[in-house]
Structure 1
Amino acid sequence: MHHTTPLITTIVGGLVLAFLLGMLANRLRISPLVGYLLAGVLAGPFTPGFVADTDLAPELAELGVILLMFGVGLHFSLKDLMSVKAIAIPGAVAQIAVATLLGIGLSWALGWPLMTGLVFGLCLSTASTVVLLRALEERQLIDSQRGQIAIGWLIVEDLVMVLTLVLLPALAGMFEQGNASFTLLAWDLLLTIGKVVAFMVLMMVVGRRVVPWILAKSAATGSRELFTLSVLALALGIAFGAVEFFDVSFALGAFFAGMVLNESELSHRAAHDTLPLRDAFAVLFFVSVGMLFDPMILIQQPLAVVGALAIVVLGKSIAAWLLVVVLGHSRRTALTISVSLAQIGEFAFILAGLGIALNLLSAEGRNLVLATAILSIMLNPILFTLLERYLEKTETIEEQTLEEAIEDEKQIPVDICHHAIIVGFGRVGGLLGTRLIEAGVPIVVVENSRTRVEALREQGIRAVLGNAARADTMDLARLDCARWLLLTIPNGYEAGEIVTAAREKCPTIEIIARAHYDDEVTYLTEHGADRVVMGEREIANSMLNMLKQDIETQPSPDFCPI
């Protein structure tokens, strides 16, 4: 294989293999994530054939983590973060302690030293940012209360891991070389906490004003390229600055960059413009994980792999479940959090690498961590599916309404009929809603953004928080007696699922949907939409109608005068 262009080779090889195996996994009705991980195994140095650059792949994957966390920050306000601190902080710290102790116990059974066991246990204690967010996004849970708890829990884990990465060298020196003291350890801890707090204060005070201002200026140029470039420059620049000047992780830096932009009117556009890049680099993250994996560990140490996997999937999950229940949350929330955390990811790889550099962890230990990571990531979508089926069979209506404590009083069916239901309230939905209100038509908005729903309710507009493809969400919006269903979301294929579900429940309702491409128009029409509006086609028709009016009122002369 020609390697004079390792960057291009790694990107092309990784994406092509991920696409092929992702399609195969989808055909077999399993998560595409499994295909992406297997693509990394095939592209890695431990299998024959094509070998990608193992140094470049993790850096490309880090870009995916930065963009993904920036996107999450765009939907996660400081108020949301503070609202879950009572459970996220004690829960994450206690769960990390339990998982670390279990890891130390397994390492003792394998005959490893105490410090090796500590590093190994810490590697098993923290969940993957990318895996967790992908699972929440697929199930429309990011804006739910349990989604916010899971994200807040993850942020606390990231902070603990940042402290760990700083303190581990001092601990290694103190226990093995005797050249570090408890005073030095305490000083390192205070210094690290101070840097993290300084970064957070800087972002909340200065970034809250500067970041939206920069985006507003770039949007005012009218150039889509400049606006997208400004979003990427801010996300990547702040994440890099967080690491370079404050020793904060890339993920945490990018998250706060997105969070300070959350209150801006441009946050929705910024999230939409960065979505393709986030998806592409998130795929490269999974490929890079697979590349580090040596499959021989499954044959050489099968019992150790099973033990480590049991700690991650069972030990962490049970600990998280107990903690959430003890802190007073519902069974659904407790189970969702426990399943969300039943995997490990990027910080495990970073810690394992540092452990090897400090001679605290062997190559065998790193392979065991990687094997556990890959297997737990593969199992995670299956666990989510099993959880959803279990809750559908065992949960009562009362338990479902109890699950979202924030929404208990707000999520009640609307009290109108013969209204228009608008799914999505971005630029198109906002303009449409305004015109309908001016015309005296009652509307109900269905949105999956908690921030936007709360803003609409403050304006006196009826709004329902949830996924429009779910029957319970549309029941709250009173689909059964609505006159129109208006789909303004930009994804035509996602809209198709909503059209199908709505047409089955209410065959006579008039459905009008939005599309960008001809194949989306066909798809939506076949699934039951009465009319589909394609933006480009309507613009062309409007311009043609204007020309016809000019031609009819002022016939053009036979020649153009000089």
Structure 2
Amino acid sequence: MALVLGVALGAGLLLSLLRLPMILGYLVAGIVIGPYVLGLVEHIEDVEMLATIGVVLLMFTLGLELSPNTLRRVGKVAILGGIAQIAATTILGFGIGFLFDWSVKEAVLFGFFISMSSTVIVMKLLMDRGDLGSVHGRIMIGILLVQDLSVVPIMAVLPSLEKSGMALLTDLGWALLKADAFLVAVLVLGGWGLPRLVRRVVVRRSRELFLLAIVCVCFGAGFAAYHLGLSIALGAFLAGLLLSESDYAHQARADIRPLRDVFSVLFFVALGMLADPAFIADNPGKIAIVVAVVVIGKFAIVVLILRAFGHKTKTDLFAGSGLFQIGEFSFVLAALALSEDLISDDLYATVMATAFITILLTPFAMTLTSHLYYRKIGKKEGFAKDGSREAAVENDLRPSSARTLSNHVVMCGYGKIARYLGRVLEQRGFSYLVIDLDPDAIELARKKGVPAIFGDACNPEILAEACLERARILIVGFADPIATKLIVRNAKRINRRLDIVARAYGDEETKALRADGASEVVRPDLEVGLEIVRHTLHRFGMTPQEIQYVLSKLREEF
């Protein structure tokens, strides 16, 4: 594992310096150290086991990023469009098989293989580009989920292709029944039991127990799905989707992200290890033709389907350029078909080579599409205007806080002082938002109708949810100097013009916070001392103006 991560680090740094997607570096690193080149890693199974953890965490995070409501808004195009895409791509694959004189069975199976795109690759690219919340991003994820669900009946059918028609229908029906039972169980148990479980952990006020509970939910759902013959990644996604509606989704996503990033790197490296450069070198013409037909064909199919649903050119092109690759579930299906002697070794190698090349091409294709659209097409067509269908959908997909809050106050911590401030702000009609790790404080704020985020304000992901780019002022009332320093630094990275009022103790801490960008630093010990001075001088008959002059001089000294 140390070797894999070390090589991935080097490749990622190199690609970052070249301003290329780091995912390409991870894939190439897998090729180099894999069994087909240097052979530094001979047992891919060991890496694949750890890589599976990365897939599970990625899909769980995807579920946390989305919500049932946002998916429902693109449900029609995702479901109908996804089914149409699978059917059309299967026909395309059959045509490729006819071109190379494969058997009917192999041609149909090849069509199934190329109909699957890579959920993990696409999700990673969308996250890196910041497009996960866009219209095309949501539609792409919806179509990918339909593809992932279609793996269930396909995997049930493959071992039964040699059986009679009745046996085939029986196996297919049983697989679909198990899938339905799992979905119902997840919805019932997740909707009723999951919030209660997480709430019981949160009230213990232990970050360690909270993270452990989130990881258990993630892998527990994946484990249950796997033992029912479903995708382990699908189970993790559903668990994340259910948790996304809770108050704890933001903190769960922030805590699990470091684990996700490390293990997902292992997945991409393991993916590279599966590529056999020698087979590609021995069959360059064949692989080039297959790759060209798959890329152009799948791109055209997605564009035409989305165009039929009335989407604009931007959505059509971006989705088409992101979904033309062959995904990881194709590897599973191809391996299963090979073990059942349904396809030849040559066809299996062709699927693997085509998949790897199309995955490598995807980041370049999305970058090229973005460049061409914004430089050429976007100028002629004009970007989405207010009132257009896509602009409305994009706005609806944003969190409710992002749609309503502007020129507001963000309070980090909701203790007594923050509640006093909140009372004054409410009386004056000023809006504010609360961030706190105390579930009782969050519940109190929610009862008052105040927007509240459960999470650690030190984490930049949590701060980003508070719409700091549109906030008027940030109040940091924590007594922890390290936490205060992190919050000030992270907030300034999000909005350099943001006014920040922070709490501090001592001269050094005050200077450090001002150097980090705090507009005002309040010292409780100094304020207590000044109040005592004010009351004392008042007893000696000094006027308010004279007392204020003395206090101003003292403030300047400190």
- Residues 47 and 208 of structure 1: CA distance in aligned 2, closer, same or farther (over 3 Å): same
CA contact (8 A) 2:89 2:115 kept: yes
Amino acid at match of 1:378: L
CA contact (8 A) 1:18 1:36 kept: yes
Partner SS for 1:30: coil
CA contact (8 A) 2:70 2:397 kept: no
Task: Pick the aligned partner of 1:344 from 305, 321, 326.
Answer: 326
**Within 5 Å, which residues of 2 pair with 1:168-317?**
168-171=158-161, 173=162, 180-244=163-227, 246-317=228-299
- Residues 170 and 319 of structure 1: CA distance in aligned 2, closer, same or farther (over 3 Å): same
Tell me which residue corresponds to 2:92. Answer: 102
> Aligned equivalents of 2:359 and 2:76: distance in 1?
28
Partner SS for 2:115: coil
Amino acid at match of 2:91: L
Tell me which residue corresponds to 1:362. Answer: 344
For residues 271-323 of structure 1, what are the alpha-carbon distances to aligned partners after superposition, in whole Å with 9 as ceiling and x for unaligned? 11111111111111111111111101221111222223224422112111111
Q: TM-score, normalised by structure 2?
A: 0.76
**Within 5 Å, which residues of 2 pair with 1:380-391?**
380-391=362-373
- 2:105 is aligned with 1:118: no
> Aligned equivalents of 2:242 and 2:81: distance in 1?
25
For residues 340-389 of structure 1, what are the alpha-carbon distances to aligned partners after superposition, in whole Å with 9 as ceiling and x for unaligned? 21222210110111121011223332332222222222222222222222
Partner SS for 1:404: helix
- Residues 435 and 22 of structure 1: CA distance in aligned 2, closer, same or farther (over 3 Å): farther
CA contact (8 A) 1:69 1:252 kept: yes
- 2:92 is aligned with 1:92: no
For residues 431-477 of structure 1, what are the alpha-carbon distances to aligned partners after superposition, in whole Å with 9 as ceiling and x for unaligned? 999876544374588x9xxxxxxx99x96979xxxxxx9xxx9xx99
Partner SS for 1:296: helix
CA contact (8 A) 2:469 2:494 kept: no
For residues 315-346 of structure 1, what are the alpha-carbon distances to aligned partners after superposition, in whole Å with 9 as ceiling and x for unaligned? 11211111111112222222222222122221
CA displacement at 1:200 relative to structure 2 = 0.9
| Amino-acid identity (%) | 33
- 2:390 is aligned with 1:406: no
Amino acid at match of 1:405: A
For residues 534-555 of structure 1, what are the alpha-carbon distances to aligned partners after superposition, in whole Å with 9 as ceiling and x for unaligned? 9xxx9xx87x989999xx9xxx
Task: Pick the aligned partner of 1:42 from 27, 32, 41.
Answer: 32
Partner SS for 1:361: coil
> Aligned equivalents of 1:431 and 1:347: distance in 2?
53
Amino acid at match of 1:136: L
**Within 5 Å, which residues of 2 pair with 1:542-557?**
none
CA contact (8 A) 1:512 1:530 kept: no
CA contact (8 A) 2:97 2:106 kept: yes
> Aligned equivalents of 2:245 and 2:121: distance in 1?
26
Tell me which residue corresponds to 1:177. Answer: none
- Residues 158 and 533 of structure 1: CA distance in aligned 2, closer, same or farther (over 3 Å): farther
> Aligned equivalents of 1:14 and 1:337: distance in 2?
32
> Aligned equivalents of 2:6 and 2:341: distance in 1?
37
- Residues 435 and 398 of structure 1: CA distance in aligned 2, closer, same or farther (over 3 Å): farther
The structure that has the greater radius of gyration is 2
> Aligned equivalents of 1:523 and 1:347: distance in 2?
52
Give the superposed CA RMSD: 4.3
> Aligned equivalents of 2:68 and 2:403: distance in 1?
29
> Aligned equivalents of 1:202 and 1:18: distance in 2?
39
**Within 5 Å, which residues of 2 pair with 1:125-164?**
125-164=115-154
Structure 1: tracts of 5 or more residues without a match: 1-10, 174-179, 448-454, 463-468, 504-508, 515-520, 553-562
> Aligned equivalents of 2:386 and 2:354: distance in 1?
33
CA contact (8 A) 1:420 1:486 kept: no
**Within 5 Å, which residues of 2 pair with 1:8-27?**
11-27=1-17
For residues 371-413 of structure 1, what are the alpha-carbon distances to aligned partners after superposition, in whole Å with 9 as ceiling and x for unaligned? 2222222222222222222332332244586333335689999
CA displacement at 1:20 relative to structure 2 = 0.5
**Within 5 Å, which residues of 2 pair with 1:325-344?**
325-344=307-326
Amino acid at match of 1:296: A
> Aligned equivalents of 2:424 and 2:306: distance in 1?
48
CA displacement at 1:31 relative to structure 2 = 0.6
Q: Give aligned pairs, total.
A: 487
Which is worse superposed, 248-257 or 97-106? 97-106
Amino acid at match of 1:196: A
> Aligned equivalents of 1:304 and 1:59: distance in 2?
32
> Aligned equivalents of 2:166 and 2:115: distance in 1?
27
CA contact (8 A) 1:496 1:524 kept: no
Amino acid at match of 2:391: E
Structure 2: tracts of 5 or more residues without a match: 436-444, 453-459, 477-483, 504-509, 534-558
Partner SS for 2:44: coil
Q: TM-score, normalised by structure 1?
A: 0.75
Which is worse superposed, 106-115 or 25-34? 106-115
CA displacement at 1:17 relative to structure 2 = 0.8
CA contact (8 A) 1:21 1:36 kept: yes
CA contact (8 A) 2:514 2:520 kept: no
